[in-house]
Structures are given as structure tokens and as C-alpha cells.
Structure 1
């Protein structure tokens, strides 16, 4: 099994990566925090830096991240909160 976790550099996403890797499941993780991405890589996850608030480029990046190593994505469950607008 191979899983893509978005929003993986904080909160539930980070915990999901740790849980899945502990179960021996291959994980590709996306997130904005590249420093945390390095820690995810040390856990054995493949990290792809991506800001999913930039939806069009992010959709392409996520699909590319999934399709090259794993083949066609069957599902991309949404994980990660939308950004709050700047005031």
C-alpha cells in the first residue's frame, strides 16, 4: 500500500505519516514546512514541498508526485486546513 498525506508537516498530517511509517506503509508527504519535511524524510517518507493554497499548481504537483512513482492515483483524500486570509 502507498499513501499520499497532504498537510503532513504539522498536526494530524504529521501524526498520520508517523503512524503509517510505523506500520511499514510507503508514504509520500506534502507540506509547506521544508524543515519538517526533512524530519519526515528521516522517518522514511518521501517529502514533496507543496503549498496547496495555490490550488492549480498544487493539484498538478500532487498528481505528478503520485503518478510518477506509484502509477495513477485512485483517491486523494483532503488533509490540511485552508489558509486564513491575511489581514
Structure 2
């Protein structure tokens, strides 16, 4: 098992918008419907709830810089870095 797993939680519409902006085109995952993306998100959140000792849910609606700071803060608090 990993020492820590980060779950970057974001709603389907915002996540797809970011993915398309980043790549400039859709891949097979972006082409899948909302039901698929919501099911995947739900699955990851269930995993996180069952593994609270190692899973950290992070609200991914924040800026990249703030997300980076949150990850580093958590890793330092667990003395991983």
C-alpha cells in the first residue's frame, strides 16, 4: 500500500473543461458521458472514505499553486518529505 494517496476531487463539468483546455482535444475518457465520470468520482470517494488513514481528498477547484502547497503541507505533516 502507498503511504498516501491524494484524491483531487472536482465536478465533472469543470474537470472536462480543464482537460480539454490542457490538451486541446478530447481523448477517449473525455468523450465518455457524465454518468461515467460521476461513477468514477464516486468510486474514488468511496475508496478514500474506506482508507482514511492514507487517502486525502483535496478540493481541486483551487489554483495549481494552492493545490501544490496543500500537497506539500500534508506530506510534511506526515514526515514523508
- Shorter-chain TM band: 0.3 to 0.5
* Structure with the higher fraction of residues in helix conformation: 2
Normalised by the length of structure 1, the TM-score is 0.39
Q: Which of the pair has more CA radius of gyration?
A: 2
TM-score normalised to structure 2 length: 0.41
